[in-house]
Amino acid sequence: MKNKQQQSVFSFAVLVAALGYFVDIYDLLLFSIIRVPSLRSLGLNDDQIAKDGLFIINIQMLGLLIGGILWGILGDKKGRLKVLFTSIILYSLGNIANGFVQTVNQYALVRFISGIGLAGELGAGITLVTELLPKEKRGIATSFVAGIGLTGAVVAFFIKEMFPWRTCYFIGGGLGFLLLLLRVSVLESGMFKSIENKNISKGNFLMLFTNKTRLRKYITAIFIGLPTWYVIGILVTFSKEFGAHMNIQGAIDPGKSVMFAYAAISVGDILVGFVSKWLMSRKKALYVFYAITAIGIVWFFNLHNATPFHLYLVCALLGFGTGFWAIFVTMAAEQFGTNIRATVATTVPNMIRGSLNLVSIFFVWLQGSTGNYLTAGWITGIVVFIIGILSVVFTDETYHKDLDYTEGDIA
């Protein structure tokens, strides 16, 4: 008989997963929040802060992409908890090291290492929660994980207001090690234990590319999340630069933009679980939040001569609209068998984060070809949204799906 605590939305495993994602988001978004003051302290001017800031965030996302594959495979081969322990140690050490960097190249290298570590947290946590809870509760539970976790960006902003930027990184590393102590009491997934010693292929990343149905499900799972990192990685992170091109009447603090966005994302990510339950559909919930995000993007590019407050307000709306992170990661986990579920749930969000590199390249190319920063921004958004909507259309509904199965390949 299953442990009743494991079946509760407010079980210890869910709470620890939420706190884990909290630390993950704190560390992941910290650079976006302290980008300007940290790079200025290294002697960079405004143009260099924009250029090198984009370089560093792209390097960080590359680390997430590589780490996503690494931790996903290990999560299915060695267990969800082992991945969580190891990744926490790596990104905690990385963030402490970030407090000592002196050059842009050092900054980028350490963010790359931290990115690899951060890649393991969300996917392994979501996989563990979806396998511990019954299907009628797992959507709300993962929304709770994401909603609580995403407030890490809000806390990061207030920490930045109180401490020097190097201290902010030290605090992030310390939070990671505190989290490690909590993880010790969390149980491993029963579904993973049931296949641990079976002669089936586990954590085989190539399985996703050797079957047309699996490949289609995997690609659409990734593309569904593209609008989230277009919004956060381009519009919100570089709100200072967009504000200058739109003649915003006042100084823009990109850290405050991130704070407003993530405060609203946390609310959206909690509500999306209830919307999904009310509609009894993951896909319909995604359509609702896509529509809200689209409204926010249109408003964003019509802020000419507005005040900073209006820009922050739009960042909040954009954040709320992109508060579907929990649902699409849950959908990714629900579409695949236990033997590659952690691989999928860990690689998908990090493939999306890593895709910011391609979105950024496209954005920069459009700046050169159109000669206009704002035009490049909204064209990038249109392309990203078309890809995202088509991906939802071609994705299977997973709301009622039973997860106790494997993909069936023999080891």
206: Cβ contacts below 8 Å, ≥ 6 apart? none
| Other C-beta atoms lying within 10 Å of the C-beta of residue 304 | 10
**Confidence at 196, pLDDT banded by 50, 70, 90:** low
**CB 249, CB 12: distance < 8 Å:** no
Q: Which helix (H) or strand (E) holds 17?
A: helix 12-41
Residue where the block lists tokens 């959908």: 331
Q: What is the rounded distance in angstroms from the CA atom of residue 195 to the CA atom of residue 294?
A: 43
Domain 5-185+203-393 has CATH 1.10.1740.10: no
Q: Where is pLDDT greater, at 68 or 227?
A: 227
Q: Where are the domains of the chain?
A: 5-185+203-393
Degrees (nearest 5) of the Cα angle 263, 264, 267? 95
| Dihedral over alpha carbons 307, 309, 314, 319 (to 10 degrees) | 150
Which of 122-126, 196-200, 225-229, 306-310 is predicted least confidently? 196-200
Mean pLDDT calculated for residue range 58-76: 86
For the chain, what percentages of helix, strand and coil (3-state, to nearest 5) are there? Answer: 80, 0, 20
DSSP 8-state symbol, 164: -
The count of residues in the chain is: 411
Q: Is 378 exposed, middle or buried (0-12, 13-18, 19+ CB in 10 A)?
A: middle
Percent residues over pLDDT 90 in the chain: 38
Whether the pLDDT of residue 365 is over 90: the answer is yes
**138/136 Cα distance (integer angstroms):** 6
Q: Which of 49, 164, 157 is nearest to 104 (CA)?
A: 49
Mean of the pLDDT values across residues 62-87?
82
Contact 186, 83 (CB under 8 A): no
What is the amino acid identity at position 384?
V
Q: With bands split at pLDDT 50, 70 and 90, how would you rate the model's confidence at 191?
A: low
| pLDDT average, residue stretch 46-69 | 87
Residue 211 region, left (φ>0) first, then alpha (ψ -120 to 50), else beta?
beta
Place of tokens 């070809």: 369
Contact 370, 376 (CB under 8 A): yes
Is pLDDT of 295 > 90?
Answer: yes
Average pLDDT of the segment spanning 93-120? 92
Rounded to an integer, what distance in angstroms lies between the CA atom of residue 350 and that of residue 71? 10
Amino acid at the residue 115: G
Q: CA quadruple 70, 185, 18, 60: dihedral positive or negative? A: negative
The reported pLDDT for the residue numbered 245 is 93
Lowest mean pLDDT among 226-240, 283-297, 304-318, 344-358: 344-358
Q: What is the pLDDT of residues 372-383, one digit of tens each?
A: 999 999 999 999
Q: What is the pLDDT of residue 7?
A: 54
pLDDT > 50? residue 51:
yes
- Which burial class, exposed, middle or buried, applies to 382 when counting CB atoms under 10 A from its CB (0-12, 13-18, 19+)? exposed
User: Is residue 320 scored above 70 in pLDDT?
Assistant: yes
Tell me how crowded residue 7 is: count the other CB atoms within 10 A of its CB: 13
* Burial class, 176, CB count within 10 angstroms (exposed 0-12 / middle 13-18 / buried 19+): buried
Q: Look at residue 262 and tell me whether its pLDDT is greater than 90.
A: no
Weakest mean pLDDT among 65-69, 179-183, 332-336, 392-396 = 179-183
Using 50, 70 and 90 to split pLDDT, how confident is the model at 2? Answer: very low
**pTM confidence score:** 0.77
Tokens of 192: 């993973």
Per-residue confidence (pLDDT) for residue 99, from 0 to 100: 92
366 to each of 62, 298, 381, 383, 395, how far by Cα in Å?
A: 22, 18, 12, 12, 30
Q: Tell me the three state secondary structure of residue 324.
A: coil
pLDDT band at residue 363 using 50, 70 and 90 as cut-offs: very high
Tell me, rounded to whole angstroms, the distance of Cα 2 from its chain centroid. 31
Angle, in degrees to the nearest 10, between helices 121-132 and 80-98: 150
Angle between helix axes 338-354 and 325-334 (nearest 10 degrees) is 140
Which stretches within 151-251 are classed as H helix? 152-162, 165-183, 190-195, 212-224, 226-230, 239-245
The pLDDT mean for the chain works out to: 85
Whether pLDDT at 6 is above 80: no
pLDDT at 186 over 70: no
